[in-house]
Each structure stands twice: as C-alpha cells, then as structure tokens.
Amino acid sequence: MVSEQAPTTESTTTESEAPAPLFDRRVTLEFTVEPFVDSHPGPHVQAAFTAAQAHSDLTVDIGPFGTMVSGPDEQVLKTTNEILVAAFANGATRVSLQLTAD
C-alpha cells in the first residue's frame, strides 16, 4: 500500500517582502446610497451622511453623485460599517462602495 502525502505549501514571502500593514495608511471611501432622488435625499441617504460626518478626524465631501470620506484607514473602515448599518436601517436598497488606499 502506497500512501500519498498532500503537497505542502511553504510561504516564499520574506518579512521584507510582506505587504505593509493596513492600519498605517490613509484611505478614501466613495459611496452612493440608493434609491436616490436628485435634490430629495431620503432618510436612508441622510442617515448615511450623518454617520460619515460623525467623525471629526475624517474629511467628508458630499457631491451630487456620491460622498467621499478620507482619513486614517482604521477610522474609515470603522465608519464604512456605520454608514452601511445606518443606510440599510433607514430603507436603502443598495450601497455602492469604492475604497482606495493612498
């Protein structure tokens, strides 16, 4: 009887090649909450804006087609969760997100 061993996977990445830790960067989140009616944001949109603006250490830019939130990655990621919870709890049917690391 011949037993076969599963191939082992060894990491070839050294510490010097490892990616930079996530929690040491600035990031920008852009989001759009739907349904969206131009000039008449519903409670789901207002709740998302309020969640984004609740953090004084973040820069928030509310535009006509989306909102941008910039700051330290750990805070932006935490705020992203708060935005999603606020939007869906207030009637959002869709939230589109784009997150960019600077």
What span, in angstroms and rounded, lies between the C-alpha atoms of 86 and 82? Answer: 6
Work out the burial of residue 8: count CB atoms within 10 Å of its CB; fewer than 13 is exposed, 13-18 middle, 19 or more buried.
exposed
23 with 74: CB under 8 angstroms?
A: yes
Segments making up each domain of the chain, as ranges: 38-101
* pLDDT at residue 44, rounded to an integer: 95
Render pLDDT for 44-100 as a digit per residue (tens, 0 to 9): 999 999 999 999 999 999 988 899 999 999 999 999 999 999 999 999 999 999 999
